[in-house]
A and B are shown apart, each in its own frame.
Chain A
Amino acid sequence: MENVYLIVVAMAVVTFLPRVIPLGFFAGKKMPEWLVSWLKFVPISVLSAMLILDLAWKDDALALTPSNLLLPASALAFLVAIRTKNLFATVSAGMAALALLRLVA
């Protein structure tokens, strides 16, 4: 694993480029209207796609089973998020719920 540092640097480069290219080069440009309206839907789409795969996909298979404790815990987190609209409250509620469920199960 002696070249692990090199790999980390390469990871940083391929992560940095997509982050910086639009901000560095397109920030001053006027974007077409369809692109602007499309971009409004990007954040929620990316977050939802990542969330569902974190929760319902495990070990290369769909994990929509009762034994997947992430599902009830995240359902509770959703309720807390809707009520409080608070990041910290949501994270703590989800973690507490999952820890409790694991203790019981």
Chain B
Amino acid sequence: MESATPQLLPPPRPEFLRARRPVVQPERRQTLPEPAPRAELPRLEVHGVSTQFGLASGITCAIPIVLGYFPVAFALGILAAQFKFPFFAIALMSLIVFAGSSQFAALSLLTAAAPAWSVVLTVFVVNFRHFLMSLAIAPQLKSWSLKKRILFAAQMTDETFALHMNQFATKDPGEAHIFAINMLAHSAWFLGTVSGYWVSWLLPDTRALGFDIAMPCMFIALIVLQARNRLLILSGVSAALFSLAFKLAGLSHAAVLAGAIIGATIGAGVERWKTST
């Protein structure tokens, strides 16, 4: 209804204002008629929550992710068909693994006849970053039942995680909103893979269409959304530089993880140093 509802909550007051406030407030409260401000606020807040977040808002928020996932999954399906990878195996992979870059890596390793253990190990290393994300979002979901947390964990990806964290930074979006996004993202990934496989004979070379940049572009958009202050930017840039350095030093799949850990440590370290001085 009112598009202004999300901005309802005023920014937190600076410390010096907050301290002064109680001195003025009690006097005013006694002279002003009570009901008017009191009745107004809760009603508007409830109204704001009920119209802002829910199944419908989840679907709206999922659109960009669906539009981003579908072409990437489509490219994965095409690649699988070109490699003569079994259809049900790639469809199953998109359903139960649901982790983009690791699926591309696994596909190329499997078609290169790499040993099974090395494929599984690569996937483990590439996806271990989810451990950090799961740890980061856990406090926000602590009121959820174990079953729901497990379902959430099974569907957590870089993109949906980043989106949820952005929303939690302002307000708890609620289960319906969150699961709508996760389910739609998962469906888009699965359907994209399946359709890419079957349409592969129409598009012999996806590189001509620029599909291979779809995934990096999603990362770009999410990085820009995350870069809310200089410290966050500093940690992103350091993570990028260190992961490149690790690659140059000969590390293969662990480079992302190692670079990210160092980047986050630099950000947190500088923050600590700045607050202590």
Contact = CB atoms under 8 A, between A and B. Distances in A.
B232 A11 contact: no
Contact of B220 (A22, A90, A102): A90
Contacts of A26: 135, 138
Contacts of B63: 88
A95 B110 contact: no
A16 B89 CA distance: 18
Q: Interface size class for chain B?
A: 35 or more
Contacts of B156: 19
A51 B209 CA distance: 20
Contacts of A19: 127, 130-131, 133-134, 153-154, 156
Contact of B239 (A15, A38, A44, A102): A44
Interface residues on A, range: 35 or more
A24 B133 contact: no
Contacts of A82: 224
A23 B149 contact: yes
A96 B213 CA distance: 10
B116 A45 contact: no
B132 A8 contact: no
B192 to A, nearest CB: 13
B89 A45 contact: no
Interface string B235-247: 1111111111001
A104 interface: no
Contacts of A10: 116, 120
Nearest to B141: A27
A26 B232 CA distance: 25
Interface in B223-265: 223-227, 231-233, 235-244, 247-248, 255-257, 259-261, 263-265
Contacts of B257: 49
Contact of B243 (A14, A37, A43, A53): A53
Contact of B264 (A7, A14, A42, A57): A42
Contacts of A36: 139
Contacts of A28: 142
Interface in A11-52: 11-12, 14-16, 18-24, 26-28, 31, 34-52
B268 A56 contact: no
Given A19-B134, A21-B134, A34-B268, A91 B139 contact: no
A25 B127 CA distance: 19
B210 A40 contact: no
B46 to A, nearest CB: 27
B211 interface: yes
A98 B139 CA distance: 40
B96 A9 contact: yes
Contact of B132 (A5, A11, A42, A50): A42
B219 A57 contact: no
A23 to B, nearest CB: 4
B97 interface: yes
7 shortest interchain CB distances as A-B pairs: A87-B64, A98-B210, A45-B263, A41-B267, A94-B217, A45-B239, A18-B131
Given A44-B235, A48-B243, A82-B224, 4 more contacts: A23-B134, A41-B268, A49-B243, A56-B244
9 contacts: A1-B86, A8-B92, A18-B127, A18-B130, A19-B131, A41-B263, A90-B217, A91-B221, A94-B213
